[in-house]
Amino acid sequence: MSDWRHRVDNLVELMNDFGLERARQSGEGWSLELSKTVPVSGGVPMMAAAPAEAATSATLAAKPKKAARRAAEVARGIPVTTPMMGIYYAAPSPGAPNFVSVGQEVTEGQVVGLVEAMKTFNEILAPQSGVITSVEATNGQLVEPGTVLVRIE
How does DSSP assign the chain, residue by residue? --HHHHHHHHHHHHHHHHT-SEEEEEETTEEEEEEEE--TT----EEEEEETT---HHHHHHHHHHHHHHHHHHTSSEEEE-SS-EEEESSSSTTSPPS--TT-EE-TT-EEEEEEETTEEEEEE-SS-EEEEEE-S-TT-EE-TT-EEEEE-
Pairing of strands 148-152, 78-81: antiparallel
pLDDT of 33 reads 74
pLDDT for 54 equals 45
Where in the sequence of the chain do the CATH 2.40.50.100 domains occur? 74-152
Q: Would you state the CATH architecture of domain 74-152?
A: Beta Barrel (2.40)
Q: In angstroms, how far is CA 113 from the centroid of its own chain?
A: 12
The residues of the chain scoring below 50 in pLDDT are 38-59, 74
Query: Do the strands 148-152 and 120-125 form a parallel or antiparallel pair, or are they unpaired?
Result: unpaired
What confidence score (pLDDT) does residue 41 get?
42
